[in-house]
Chains A and B, each alone.
Chain A
Amino acid sequence: MNRLGTFLVAAAAVFAVAVPFFLKPFGIYLISMWAVLTIAAIGLNLTLGYAGQVSMAQGAFVGIGAYTVALLTQADVPYAAAFVAAGLFCFAVGWVLGYPALRVQHHYLAFVTLAFNTLVFLVLRNEEWLTNGIYGINSIARPAFFGWSTGKALDFYFFCLGALTVLSLATWWILRSPWGRAFVALRENPVRALSLGLDTRRYTLIAFAIGSSLAGLAGALYAPLVQYIEPNSFGLGMSFNLLLMVIVGGSGYFFGPFLGALVAVLLPEWMRITEGYYLIVYAMFVMVMMAFCPSGLLGLVERALKAVGRRTPSPILRSEGVGQ
C-alpha cells in the first residue's frame, strides 16, 4: 500500500467515524444501511469480482441471514450466537449453491442463481408458520453487548461500522492468502489453474460459500437495523441492486463495493429534488458507465491516474495488482 492509498483510507475511516455526529437520525440510518450493504457487496465482489462466478442470489442470502437472526433472537437466542449462526448457515447454503457453478458457467450460472433467489423468496412468503409470510417479522430488537446497548441509531451505526471493519479486514486477509490467488486464477483461466494442480472444484465452492456467508452476516445486521423484515425486501430487486453496486464501484477492486454501495444508497437521497426520477437517472448513469468504463468507478480512477502518468496505479485500488 503506497502513501497516497494509506492516506485516502485513513481519511475515509476518520470521515466514517466523524460524520454521524453531524447527521440527523435518518442520515445515520442511511450510513448504517451503507455499511450493511457494503458487507453484502464485499461478499459478492469476492464471488464475482475475484473468483469470476456470476451470482444473482446475493439478496436471497441477505434475506436468509436476516430471517435467521430475527427468528433466533425472538426465540431468546443471544444476538452474538444468532449472528454467527446466520453466517454459518449462509456458508452452508452457499456451498450447496456452488455445486451448479461446477457444472455451468456465465449466463447459465446467472440463471440458476436467479432461480434460487426466487425460490428463497417463495419459501419466505409461503411458509407462514416459520416466517409469518407477507406480514413479515416486526420489532426485531437491537443487541446489547456487555452493557453497551445499540438501541440508539448512533450506537447501532458504530456497531455496523465495527462489523464492516472486521469483515473487510478478514476479506482483505483472505484475498492476500493463497485462497485469494486461487480465486483470481479461477477467474482468469480455470483450465490453466486446474492444470497447475489447483483444486478448482473446491475453490469454486469456497468462493461461493464465503461470498454468501458475508451476505448472511450483512442480513444479520440488516434485520436489527430496519427492525422489520418482509419477503419482498429480499427478492430479485435486492440482488440486482447488490450486483449494480459491485459493478458500479468496480468489480475485482477491493474498495469497489464501498464506493458502489455509497452511490446506490446516497444517490437517491441527493436526488430527492428530482422527486421520483432518481431511479431513471441512476439507471442511465449505470448504462452510460457500462458503455464507457465497464470496470466501474475505480476503473475510471485508475485510468485517470494512468493518463496523468504520475505513477503506476496504487495497489490499494487492486488487491496486489490483480484485476480484470
Chain B
Amino acid sequence: MASFIQLLVSGLATGAIYALIAVGFTLLWQTSQTINFAQGEFVMLPAFFILAAMNLGAPFWLATLIGLLLSIVVLGLLFKLIIVDPMLRYGVLPLVISTIALSLFLKEAAKDFYSSQAQPFPALVPATDLNVFGAVISLQSLAVLAIAVATVLALHFLLNKTRLGRCMQATAQNPTLARILGIPVERMVLYTFLINGVLVAIASILISPIYLAKFTNGETLGIAAFLAAIIGGFNQVRGAILGGVILGILDNLSAAYLSSQYRGAFPLIILIAVILLRPQGLLGRVEERTV
C-alpha cells in the first residue's frame, strides 16, 4: 500500500507535467489547427535557455525569468510568425511536416550549439523525502504537483473567468462568428501561442531536474503530450488535463505492477482504443470537420 501511494504521487507529478504540455498542444490545435509535432522539443529547449543564461553568470531566478521570456518570444511569437502563419492556408499536413522538421532542427541545434551530454539542472526544492503514513514521498514530486496544479488553475481562471479568456474560447470555437462579434481573432490566436510558450517553459523547469536537460528529452515528452491530448479530448483543455494525469499514473503503475518492458505500450493501447471507440476523446466534443 505504501509503495502504491508512492507510485501514485510520483505518477500524479509526472501526469501533471504531461498535462501542462498537452494543454498547450490542444490550445494551438483549437485556435489555429496547428498540430505541433515539435511540442516535445519546445519543452526540451527552455532548460537550455536557462542553462545558457546561468553560464553567462545570471543567478538561477534571473536565468529562469530570461528562459521564460525567451521561450515566450521564440517558441510563442517567432514560431507563429515564421512557421505557422505562412502555412495556415495550405491546411494541416504541410504544417505537420514543417513542425516535424522543426523538431529535428531544435534537437540538432541543442546538441550542436550546447552539448550532446545530459546536463544537470538545478532543482526548485531540495531533494528530501517526506514520510507520510509509511509512504516515502519526495518533496520534489509534491512541489512539481503544486506548481503544475497552480498553473493549470491559473489558466482555467484566465480562460473561463476573464473577458480575455472568453474571447479566446470564442475564437477557438467559431472564428468567423467571433470576428463578427468584434473579437480581434488574430490577436487571440497569438495569445494562445504565447500561453503555450509559458506552459512549455514551466514544464521544462519542472521536468529537467528529474530527467536532466538533454537534447533528446523532447521525443518522449512530445509523444506523451499527443497521447494525453487525444486520450482526454483534442478540443478540450480539461480533456488534456485528464489525459495527462491518466498517462502519468498509468505509466508509473503499469511499470511497477504489469511489465516494465512494455510500460510504453499501455498508453498506446489505450490511445488506439480511445481513437477507435471514442475518437473525440474521453471529454471531447464531436468535431464534424475533423472526423
| B55 proximal to A (CB < 8 A) | no
Q: Is the CB of A280 within 8 A of B101?
A: no
Q: Is the CB of B35 within 8 A of A107?
A: yes
Contacts of B275 in A (CB 8 A): 100, 103-104, 108, 111-112
Residue from the list A54, A103, A111 in contact with B226, Cβ < 8 A? A111
Binary per-residue interface labels of chain B (254-272) against chain A in the complex, 1 for a CB within 8 Å, 0 otherwise: 0000000110110011011
Q: Is the CB of A103 within 8 A of B276?
A: yes
Number of chain B residues close to chain A: CB under 8 A: 39
Q: Is the CB of A105 within 8 A of B268?
A: no
| B291 proximal to A (CB < 8 A) | yes
| B290 proximal to A (CB < 8 A) | yes
Contacts of A291 in B (CB 8 A): 83, 86-87, 98
Q: Is the CB of B100 within 8 A of A104?
A: no
Q: In this complex, what residue of B is CB-closest to A275? A: B112
Q: Which candidate, A118-126, A153-161, A205-213, A222-230, is the interface stretch facing chain B?
A: A118-126
The residue in B35, B95, B268 that gathers the most chain A C-beta atoms within 10 A of its C-beta is B268
Contacts of B102 in A (CB 8 A): 283, 287
Q: Is the CB of A118 within 8 A of B223?
A: yes
Q: Is the CB of B108 within 8 A of A115?
A: no
Contacts of A244 in B (CB 8 A): 97, 100-101
Cα distance A111–B39 in the bound complex, in angstroms:
14
Q: In this complex, what residue of B is CB-closest to A239? A: B100
Within 8 A of A (CB), among B177-231: 219, 223, 226-227, 230
Q: In this complex, what residue of B is CB-closest to A48? A: B93
Q: In this complex, what residue of A is CB-closest to B229? A: A111
Q: Is the interface of A mostly helix, strand, loop or mixed?
A: helix
The residue in A110, A116, A283, A292 that gathers the most chain B C-beta atoms within 10 A of its C-beta is A283
Cα distance A244–B265 in the bound complex, in angstroms:
26
Within 8 A of A (CB), among B89-126: 90, 92-98, 100-102, 104-105, 108-109, 111-112
Contacts of B279 in A (CB 8 A): 103-104, 108
Beyond A118-B268, A286-B98, whether A105 also contacts B291 by CB under 8 A is: yes
Q: Is the CB of B94 within 8 A of A283?
A: no
Q: In this complex, what residue of A is CB-closest to B290? A: A106
Contacts of A290 in B (CB 8 A): 87, 90, 94-95, 97-98, 101
Q: Is the CB of A115 within 8 A of B271?
A: yes
Q: In this complex, what residue of A is CB-closest to B270? A: A115
Contacts of A126 in B (CB 8 A): 261-262
| A86 proximal to B (CB < 8 A) | no
Binary per-residue interface labels of chain A (50-89) against chain B in the complex, 1 for a CB within 8 Å, 0 otherwise: 0000100000000000000000000000000000000000
Q: How far is the CB of B106 from the nearest CB of chain A, in Å?
A: 9
Residue from the list B109, B276, B290 in contact with A280, Cβ < 8 A? B109
Contacts of A276 in B (CB 8 A): 108, 111-112
Binary per-residue interface labels of chain A (271-304) against chain B in the complex, 1 for a CB within 8 Å, 0 otherwise: 0000011011011101100111010000000000
Q: Give the A-B contact count at a CB cut-off of 8 A.
A: 112
Q: Is the CB of B272 within 8 A of A108?
A: no
Q: Is the CB of B105 within 8 A of A280?
A: yes
Q: Is the CB of B230 within 8 A of A243?
A: no
Residue from the list B35, B97, B230 in contact with A247, Cβ < 8 A? B97
| A29 proximal to B (CB < 8 A) | no
Q: How far is the CB of A128 from the nearest CB of chain B, in Å?
A: 10
Cα distance A112–B269 in the bound complex, in angstroms:
10
Residue from the list A54, A111, A114, A122 in contact with B93, Cβ < 8 A? A54
Contacts of A115 in B (CB 8 A): 227, 268, 271-272
Binary per-residue interface labels of chain B (225-246) against chain A in the complex, 1 for a CB within 8 Å, 0 otherwise: 0110010000000000000000
| A203 proximal to B (CB < 8 A) | no
Residue from the list A122, A280, A284, A294 in contact with B264, Cβ < 8 A? A122
Cα distance A235–B100 in the bound complex, in angstroms:
15
Cα distance A292–B108 in the bound complex, in angstroms:
23
Q: Is the CB of A122 within 8 A of B265?
A: yes
Q: Is the CB of B87 within 8 A of A114?
A: no
Q: Is the CB of A119 within 8 A of B112?
A: no
Q: Is the CB of A108 within 8 A of B100?
A: no
Cα distance A244–B96 in the bound complex, in angstroms:
10
Cα distance A240–B86 in the bound complex, in angstroms:
22
Q: Is the CB of A107 within 8 A of B276?
A: no
Within 8 A of B (CB), among A135-177: none
Beyond A107-B290, A108-B291, A287-B105, whether A243 also contacts B35 by CB under 8 A is: no
Between A and B, 28 residue pairs with Cβ closer than 8 Å are: A106-B92, A106-B290, A107-B35, A107-B92, A108-B290, A114-B223, A115-B227, A118-B268, A119-B269, A122-B261, A122-B262, A122-B265, A126-B261, A236-B219, A240-B100, A240-B104, A244-B100, A276-B108, A280-B112, A283-B101, A286-B100, A286-B101, A287-B105, A290-B87, A290-B98, A291-B83, A294-B93, A294-B94
Chain A interface residues (CB < 8 Å from chain B): 54, 100, 103-108, 110-112, 114-116, 118-119, 122, 125-126, 236, 240, 243-244, 247, 276-277, 279-280, 282-284, 286-287, 290-292, 294
